[in-house]
Structure 1
């Protein structure tokens, strides 16, 4: 889900991702009135910290300037929640990013996917296709996720939380 939001942000910038020596696809542009570097690791999600840290070093971005967009099981499907820092809650991609940056203190835009039904394995759940209902709402939800990133960049965390946590 995070890649879909990042792709939407790239379309708003109007550029194309290019391969980078860090192991990520990168795109430079402006969002929310700020210069940004979008990065999509070419690794498995569980190993995304290395490529993101390499990209951040190259562009001289520290963890305080990092915004990670990721799926979140503990948030209802389609809801967007923002925060600074926190644990990885079993999310291996976040664990990799935290290890690579040496801190948990980076911004997160959490895109809700909800909990798996019954006893379904969480990994199987996040890798399955979207349901028909979810697919109908997907474009709107991806757009909201991208809007949340832009609001965070333009207005800061508190304003973005006020705008997106109430809806």
Structure 2
């Protein structure tokens, strides 16, 4: 397997439309575009698929544990397919970016994101790629939990969906090793 794409979110219908599930939304959209069918894989505890796209074999993982336990499923699937952390792209919501913004980032800290915190622990490294989908910030740290577990207003949802579409448009460049070109295109919006 050439790459493992991991979309972060919380499982269950009650969380499906919450901002914290932006990573799930992006991976589901990518699966639809590639014709992949995400199916429950109990050995990794994630919805998973393997597809050929952009001339490469790509794995997809949507952990079915809650956000703060995302690392185990991603690490398990990566270990099974012998995918090094440097070939993992984690797609997640980002409070520090406004809705409609998306950024590719190599490595770094968790920035308070519990999914990234658990991934860093499970993978034993912070050196993996991230696709950060902006959801905006509520303005005060005490409002963050309620905010990320709430649904975006229609205009914000449209902006997030557009950012996901722009992100997926640069994914072929990124997966072919042209991360600079992908970042330049994505970050110019």
Does the CA-based 8 Å contact 1:83-1:157 persist in structure 2?
Answer: no
CA–CA separation in structure 1 for the residues paired with 2:177 and 2:77 = 25
In 2, the alpha carbon distance for the partners of 1:108 and 1:119 equals 23
- Alpha-carbon distance change, 118 to 86 in structure 1, aligned in 2, over 3 angstroms: closer
Distance 1:111 1:136 in 2: 13
Shift of 1:13: 1.5
Instruction: Please identify, of 71-80 and 87-96, the stretch whose mean Cα deviation from structure 2 is larger.
Output: 71-80
Distance 1:153 1:128, change over 3 A: same
Q: 1:7 aligns with which of 28, 34, 48?
A: 28
Residue 87 (structure 1) aligned with residue 109 (structure 2) = yes
For structure 1, which segment, 94-103 or 151-160, has the greater mean C-alpha deviation from structure 2 after superposition?
151-160
Output the CA distance in 2 between the equivalents of 1:94 and 1:40: 14
**What SS is found at the alignment partner of 1:121?**
helix
Moved more, 56-65 or 152-161: 152-161
Give the structure 2 partner of residue 58 of structure 1. Answer: 80
Is the Cα contact below 8 Å between 1:81 and 1:110 reproduced in 2? yes
- Cα distance between partner residues in 1 of 2:58 and 2:36: 12
The residue that corresponds to 1:73 in the other structure is 95
Pick the aligned partner of 2:51 from 29, 33, 40.
29
How many residues are matched?
167
Cα RMSD after superposing both structures: 1.6
Mark the CA change 1:17 to 1:119 in structure 2 (over 3 Å): closer, same or farther: closer
- Between 1:121-130 and 1:104-113, the stretch displaced more is 121-130
Residues 1:130 and 1:99: Cα distance change in structure 2 (over 3 Å): same
CA deviation after TM superposition for structure 1 residue 25, in Å: 1.0
Q: Does the CA-based 8 Å contact 2:134-2:160 persist in structure 1? A: no
Q: How does 1:34-53 map to 2 (within 5 A)?
A: 34-53=56-75
Distance 1:81 1:142 in 2: 10
Contact 1:47–1:93 (Cα < 8 Å) also in 2: yes
Query: Where in structure 2 are there 5+ consecutive unaligned residues?
Result: 1-21
